[in-house]
Amino acid sequence: MGRLVVISNRVAVPKARGAAGAQGGLAGALNSALKKHKGLWFGWSGQESEAETGESTGNINMQRADGVTTATIDLSARDVDEYYNGYANSTLWPLFHYRLDLTEYERETGKGYERVNERFAECVQPLIEEEDLVWVHDYHLLPLGERLRARGLKNRIGFFLHIPWPPTRLFVSLPFHERLVRTMLDYDLVGFQNNEWLESFLHYCRKELGAQVDEDTGVVSFEGRTVRAKAYPIGIDWDHFQAQGKTETAHKAAERLTDSIRNRAAMIGVDRLDYSKGLPERIDGIGRFFDQHPERVRDLVYIQVAPPSREDVESYQHIREVLEQKTGQINGARSEVDLVPIRYVNRGYEHAELYGFFNAAKIGLVTPLRDGMNLVAKEYVAAQDPEDPGVLILSRFAGAAQQLSCDEKGAVMVNPHSPDDLSHAILAALDMPLAERKSRYEAMITTIREDNVQAWTAEFCSDLAGE
């Protein structure tokens, strides 16, 4: 094969807005693969240009470091509003997370989405060489493969969706849903996080398009095109994360948390401030626990780390207000002069600090209403002391649930919509004996260590190359 060309909404390059947060496992794995193949990473810079709807293909910022070339373009304020805040995050994101009540259908944002995908194709196509493998990422760029094919690109092109794919009965509520899926069939390989979403995609292709679908191989044949669809559960960067745990920063973070909780058990949740994460429902479950077990209020402190995201989207502003209100109500009812049961932190932390917090927390709470993979669940387990591990409470609707349920021997599985279910799980985790905690940890740790993000990258690239 030639080079690997990665195309995504954002690129992890120095000084790009928000890029620091992208330098975790996925960015590290992609950078590693790009270094191996002297590759190219193309996407939006995160900056806004002064042009009304973008600029010519000549306005590409190229950088090269450690054998990897990054190429970024600016988008206009209109492009950002229609493509990113609009269609991608106000239409596709809520729909793909089963939130029809929050999904907005606006013709103009759909046009903006198509326009920016066309601009991506226009800008990146001249940079792609004949033998390159092209790997497109996530819901922002679903139709990009078709746009590249229309420009004559014959390369092998793969696509990976980092979020859920909804059931057909939900997806057909999207205007022009058939046209969108037809564009995806111009890829050679389409990847999903787990088998549930793979099966939903294949069901749509068979039922709505009338395509021929081989359920065993995931091969979809339609109007002369053949595409393979497959599940590729993404993992964490195990070696990098373990290295973070050996730093002074991680040790100090663990000590800081341990010293502050005054012999209480710490329970932690780390999530972007997003309605898909089930944060209000989670707080309701914690409130139910304190209502049902008021004598345990001095035994447990919950730390919710929730850095803000997409603050320009109204539904995200609302979720922050609701979360602050619910947290304040519980703290107002249960606090003492020397005790606050819930600590709500509206900021982010670097990886080493999170390792330390996870290591010091007896319970990890990961309860999305619907989520792509939720690597925080795997990071929490990876940070535990094998001789005295904490307990992971995990939503059955997280992508990680298929790997970490482990025949009821791994994570404690919950329905995040049920406050009683959450309350029961918290009590079970709080009182769980060491032997059971160790057996649950051991059931999860092998897949977390071995099915890491490097293995995920290698398997997808190998399949895309047809090796």
343-375 in b/e burial notation, b at 16+ Cβ within 10 A? bbeeebbbbbbbbbbbbbbbbbbbbbbbbbbbb
Closest CA to 253 of 104, 341, 361: 361
Closest CA to 464 of 228, 234, 233, 205: 228
Q: How far apart are CA 277 and CA 284, in angstroms?
A: 13
SS3 225: strand
Written as one letter, the residue type at 4 is L
Angle of helix 238-245 versus helix 351-360 axis, rounded to 10? 70
Return the H-helix or E-strand segment holding 43. strand 40-49
For 260, residues 6+ apart whose C-beta sits below 8 A from its C-beta are none
End-to-end CA distance of the chain: 10
Beta bridge partners of 61: 72
Q: How far apart are CA 391 and CA 297, in angstroms?
A: 19
Alpha helices for 24-73 (secondary structure H): 25-36
The residues assigned a catalytic role are 162, 371
% helix, strand, coil for the chain, step of 5: 50, 20, 35
φ and ψ of 205, to 5 deg: -60, -40
For 385, residues 6+ apart whose C-beta sits below 8 A from its C-beta are 359
SS3 294: helix
How buried is 47 (Cβ within 10 angstroms: 0-12 exposed, 13-18 middle, 19+ buried)?
A: middle
Q: How far apart are CA 389 and CA 268, in angstroms?
A: 14
Q: How far apart are CA 275 and CA 102, in angstroms?
A: 10
